[in-house]
Structure 1
Amino acid sequence: MRFDSSTQLSQSTFIKPLAAVAVAIIALGTVSTAAQAKTLFKDTSITALHGTNFKMVPNNENSSLSTVTLEHASTHDWGGIFMFVDRHQGDDYDLTDGQGNVIGSKEYKETFGKISPKFKVATFKDSLVKQVNLAGVYEFSSNSKGFGQDNYWAGVGVDLNLPVPGMKYASATLYHAFNETKPDDQKITLTSAWERDNLLIDGYVDFSFNNDDIENNIHFNPQIKYNIQPMLGIDNRLEVGVEYDYWKNKFGIDGVNQNAVAALVKYHF
């Protein structure tokens, strides 16, 4: 499950618009290039999750959360693209007036998504590093409490050829994040997937660092799933399982550590 002043003009004031333009160009280039490029793999899926013990949703100590995720991933001869949109629905929270008096309640809702293209720079044979990529991310969110943001990441990464039986993919990417609502920072993102006998384990680790205003934080989010398509005799892949969500210093807040487990069902189109 993925969530996420000064009056003087700083360097990031100029960099952020440039980053926005760069990501837009990348996205448009991806769409136009994909029409002519060779597609090597593609997958689109929808996932339903429900779990408890989520922090800061929406500022309760241990909230429940239901999520529907629409996800697409594809690889091409020029690189690849990964994108998803989460729709979260959580517990009720108090509505207050200007004096802090509780005047009602409202169900928490949030939309969060990412569009992440990568472009192949170089490939290697018989090497631990299989491919070097330029990578970008457009990250957006809004919620029922009035918060919204648009962030942009740019970086370089590698696809790895790990000598592990059943390993489907593995990658490591270093990003600079141009953040809208907090100072910029750097991120290291690791992704991997392993599958054998209809058992699939995949997920990611995000490590955010080098931000003087907030704490370094690490977000570990694996899923353990079993494909029940063969036993049901259906045409499309259907997985059931669990997702574990560990987030140390969530949102960079010191001491806010999330340990949440959610049940999931994932259907591939």
Structure 2
Amino acid sequence: MIRIAVANQKGGVGKTTTAINVATALAASGWRVLLIDFDPQGNASTGLGVDRGQREWSSYEVLTGQSTIVEAAVPSRVPRLDLVPATEDLSGAEIELIDIEQRTHRLANALDAVPAGKWDVCLIDCPPSLGLLTINALVAARSLLVPLQCEFFALEGLSQLLTTIERVRARFNSHLSILGVALTMYDRRNRLSEQVAQDVRACLGDVVFETVIPRNVRLSEAPSHGLPALIYDHRCSGSEAYIALARELIGRLPDMARAA
């Protein structure tokens, strides 16, 4: 199973929107997808229409060893897309794990226990921080998808994330690599968006996806209906961009035994 962490320590960059819609696009392409909501806010769970009454088991129980991933996973409204939801309990997990052995490998160990062939790809929606939850995701993942908002401080925040990635590589997970950086909330009417996009591409080169995710009101509306934008309005500019991004992402993934 391919494991991809969707991470950026800055909030409001379109991270959860990216995780939900890329997961939906992969599922629509025939992949069996697992999305792990690893943010105590539970926005990915809400955005996929999994209400709090359905969250009997969550990523918190997985992290603390009370549940397996297979037990915690619930089907979403999207065919072939399953979700491990999150609850507020996850916010206390970092404190609870302080004295636990291998606290940085809890999620990795849980994913290692998933039966082979259950899912083709796993996306992990990380919280907007570089704490123990995000470290667990980076240790568990093999690839990293970084949503990056087209705004002034984008590169500054990215440098902090890259430093953390190098530390994780050195200490815990030498296989971790950056799958790509996705530019989000791009406003074609704003010259700053274009300048930031140019600066990011000049700095990072081919690691930046060609597809740019625009600012789009339908992307913002979709979570309130418990639906990915690709289902809420598949013809809007935001949905079309995420479909294109998923195609690019698939092209960068390792070869799989099955066609997707």
What TM-score do you get using the length of structure 2 for normalisation? 0.29
- Greater RCO between the two (CA within 8 Å, min separation 6)? 2
Larger Rg computed on CA atoms = 1
More strand by share: 1
More helix by share: 2
What TM-score do you get using the length of structure 1 for normalisation? 0.29
